Structures are given as structure tokens and as C-alpha cells.
Amino acid sequence: MQAKWWRSGFFYILLLVVVGALIIARVTSEEGPTPVSLPEFVESAKQAEIDTIEHDGETLTGLQGGQEGKAIITTVFKADTDAVVTYLGEEGIDLGAGGIDFYATASGFDWGTIALTVILPIVLLGALFYFLFFRAARGAGTQAFNFGKSRARLSIAKRPDVTFADVAGTEEAKEEVQEVVEFLKSPQKFQALGGRVPRGVLLVGPPGTGKTLLAKAIAGEAGVPFYSISGSEFVEMFVGVGAARVR
């Protein structure tokens, strides 16, 4: 019995992609601090619009509600901590007790954001690629990892019992392939005289003119197995694989 669609691996991968997309959209849509110029930042501090300032060596961030509060504004200020404190003091901003709290923090990556916006999409795309390519290829007609496996089919379990007597109206063709039959029966006789193995015989004609029947008759006359393969199976996703499989 065929599994229900919601039990398939594709359904769970699709669900994972949708959930991941929603999480990424949620994280990226969160409002961050507004970038401002340095004079605007100083003015906001003077107007008591912020109560905490953080400096990570490259940027100044103004927060409301203490160090764990919400970041309101940010500005670029590449300098060491002492230079920042000196500058803010010269601008009339009171830092420390009774004024604006100041914290020097180490700059670093927000690994949570990086994981959600970079690593998670890669994992989701990898899972989707695995399902669409690797798993689908195992069940597809042109298998990506079984491309060297022959699809030739043995027509019957025993050697064909079809002979030239069963083929009518192709006397000239039967005479021309008689040499192939003789070689298949006793190749040593031809090899002793320096003969080479025939590479094959090309039978050309419209459908229904007896090409396949004649090929079976050759195998039946020579007492060898008969294999068949469709011409469409020469076409492969990898160039040359179809012909190599047949060989």
C-alpha cells in the first residue's frame, strides 16, 4: 500500500523549510538600533533619550533601560575606551554615578543570528537537495548512481528457438548475416585464419519489418542467448554512459 503523502520525507523537509523561513523572517524583521551621526548621538545623550552607552571599539550604542535594555541608536566611533570617555566628557555628557552608564564591551559576532540567517538556510537547502537529487535519483529511470548498470534484458530464460525458417521475406538479409551465425558457432575457425570478431550488424527498416525477429533468429541459429535494449536508453544524463552500458 502506498504511504500517505504526509508520511513522505518530502513533506517533512518542506515543513522544515517553511518553519526555517518563518524563523529567519522573524529574526531579520526585528527592529534594530537606528544609525545616526556622532553629533546626533551626542545630542540624544544630552537630551536623556538614552541612559546607557556601550562601546565595542568600533561603534557607540545608546540603550534605554540599562545594559539589558533596548538599543535605540548607534554610531561609528573607532577609538579606544579612554579616548571615547574623554570625548564624551568634553561634549558635556556626564558618565558614571548620577549620569549615563558607560560600558566597554568586546566586539564579536552574534552567533545566534549567524546560525539562523546563514547556517540554517544552508542546512535546509542541503536537506532539500538531498531529497530532490539523491533520493529521487535512486528511484528514477535515469539513476545518477547506477549509471553504469546495464539495463539489457534477456528475452527468455533459455536460448531462442526462433530460426531463419521462422523469418519470411528477408532472404537477402539472412544470407548476409549467415557469416555472423557461423562465427558465433565456431569462432576458433575464423580466428585461426586471422579473422576479427564482427562488431555488430546494423538492421535498418520501418517498424514491423522483422528486424527484431531476424536478430532473435541469428541468436537461435547460433545457439546463443539473445539480449535486447531500447534505443532510448542510450540517452543519459552523463555523456557516453548509455553507449558504455550497452557495450
Q: pLDDT digits over 62-95, tens only? A: 888 776 777 777 777 777 778 888 888 888 887 8
| Closest alpha carbon to 53 in 37, 64, 40 | 64
Domain presence at residue 119: yes
Report the distance separating Cα 235 and Cα 74, nearest Å: 61
Looking at the structure, do residues 158 and 212 belong to the same domain, yes or no? yes
Q: pLDDT for 135-185, tens place per residue?
A: 655 554 444 445 445 554 544 445 668 888 888 877 888 888 888 888 888
Domain presence at residue 237: no
Domain presence at residue 63: yes
Domain presence at residue 244: no
| Domain range for 126 | 5-27+112-139
Looking at the structure, do residues 70 and 15 belong to the same domain, yes or no? no
Domain presence at residue 126: yes
- pTM of this prediction? 0.36
Looking at the structure, do residues 131 and 20 belong to the same domain, yes or no? yes
**Secondary structure in 3-state letters for 146-173:** CCCCCCCEECCCCCCCCCHHHCCCCHHH
Looking at the structure, do residues 133 and 157 belong to the same domain, yes or no? no
Helix axes 171-185, 211-222, angle to 10 degrees: 30
Looking at the structure, do residues 74 and 18 belong to the same domain, yes or no? no
Specify the DSSP class assigned to residue 244. Answer: H
Specify the DSSP class assigned to residue 134. Answer: I
Residues 155-176: b if buried by 16+ CB within 10 A, e if exposed: beeeebebebeebeebeebbee
Report the distance separating Cα 15 and Cα 136, nearest Å: 18
Residue 218 has a CB neighbour count (10 Å cut-off) of: 24
CATH code for position 40? 3.30.720.210
Find the distance separating the first CA and the last CA of the chain, reported in whole Å: 38
Looking at the structure, do residues 212 and 184 belong to the same domain, yes or no? yes
Domain count, the chain: 3
CATH code for position 159? 3.40.50.300
Looking at the structure, do residues 169 and 59 belong to the same domain, yes or no? no
